[in-house]
Amino acid sequence: MAQFHKRFWKQVTVGPVGEEGQQGPLLDGRPVKLPAGGLLAVTSPVLAQALAEEWKQIAVGAQFTPDDLALTRIAGSYIERILPDRAAMEAALHAYGIDDNLCYQSAAQDERVVARIRDWAAEQGLHPAMTDGLMPLTQPETYKEALKRYLSAREPLILAALGVMVPITGSLLLPLALVYDVVSFDDAVHLAHADEYRQLEKWGHDKELATLLEKRNTDIADALRFLHLAQGRALNG
């Protein structure tokens, strides 16, 4: 269960935090401390401003959880988990990559979007085996090694965004294609949850399923927004 906190600060500003060139939100002039003791400090001015806006939007005296601070949560993971030990994140992402949901083709998937991702992956030297069956698929060693090399060459900010998106989608290739603008956000989320959207179309509105999909899509959008802000660009629609 998420732990509730109560807003204790009166003013939120942005200022220098941490190392030279870094900045972050200041709560009544004090930097935000992360769970492991680090400081919430980033190099992107637009990300620092967005982080401050998250803390500002908590109403005075209101209770909140980490779920209310999506960008802060992702930035914290980047600062305290990925920068000190990126190998652990690479290994976790690789495990999804060798059992990628995208490699299990279904009638609900948009074949054109899948083909676009496969073509892009091939350009990166990634050639996964694909199946239209339900039995577990074993990827060739050549693909496993190529995937390791590819992940090791990604910048830490991308690993932070993937760390959110990959578990939600059950795919590594699909979030990578989204991160590198191979597919649109709408195409990505509809492909990631193709069976669920097919179910909604066939059986009509299911409030619980619709709410679950909305939460998943919001989390993916937050991760993409974090990455784009960290890179100094606006979120694509």
* Same structural domain, 129 and 157: yes
Q: Does pLDDT of 59 surpass 70?
A: yes
| Over residues 110-134, mean pLDDT | 96
Q: Report how far residue 15's alpha carbon sits from residue 45's, in angstroms, rounded to the nearest whole number.
A: 10
The reply to whether 146 falls in a domain is: yes
Residue 9 to residues 60, 72, 138, Cα–Cα distance (Å)? 8, 16, 53
| Over residues 116-145, mean pLDDT | 96
* Same structural domain, 51 and 103: no
Q: How many domains does the chain have?
A: 2
* Tokens coding 167: 């578990």
Per residue in 2-52, pLDDT tens?
567 888 899 999 999 989 999 999 999 999 999 999 999 999 999 999 999
* Same structural domain, 92 and 151: yes
Rg of the chain over CA atoms, in angstroms? 19
* Same structural domain, 76 and 99: no
pTM: 0.92
Q: Please return the burial class of 74, using the count of CB atoms within 10 Å of its CB with bins 0-12, 13-18 and 19+.
A: buried
Per residue in 69-94, pLDDT tens?
999 999 999 999 999 999 999 999 99
Per residue in 157-184, pLDDT tens?
999 999 999 999 999 999 999 999 999 9
The reply to whether 223 falls in a domain is: yes
* Same structural domain, 59 and 25: yes
* Same structural domain, 216 and 113: yes
| Over residues 102-117, mean pLDDT | 94
Last residue of a domain, one of 61, 82, 103: 82
* Same structural domain, 136 and 222: yes
* Same structural domain, 73 and 92: no
Q: Give the model's pLDDT for residue 52.
A: 98
What is the number of other CB atoms lying within 10 angstroms of the CB of residue 189?
A: 23
Q: Does pLDDT of 234 surpass 70?
A: no
**CATH number for the domain that contains residue 209:** 1.10.3580.10
Q: Domain range for residue 193?
A: 86-230
* Same structural domain, 102 and 70: no
Last residue of a domain, one of 82, 109, 132: 82
* Same structural domain, 77 and 92: no
The answer to whether 71 and 222 have CB atoms below 8 angstroms apart is: yes
Q: Give the model's pLDDT for residue 2.
A: 58
Last residue of a domain, one of 52, 82, 112: 82
Q: Does pLDDT of 154 surpass 70?
A: yes
Worst-scoring range by mean pLDDT, 61-65, 80-84, 137-141, 230-234?
230-234
Q: Does pLDDT of 236 surpass 90?
A: no
Per residue in 177-230, pLDDT tens?
999 999 999 999 999 999 899 888 777 778 899 999 999 999 999 999 999 999
Q: Give the model's pLDDT for residue 1.
A: 47
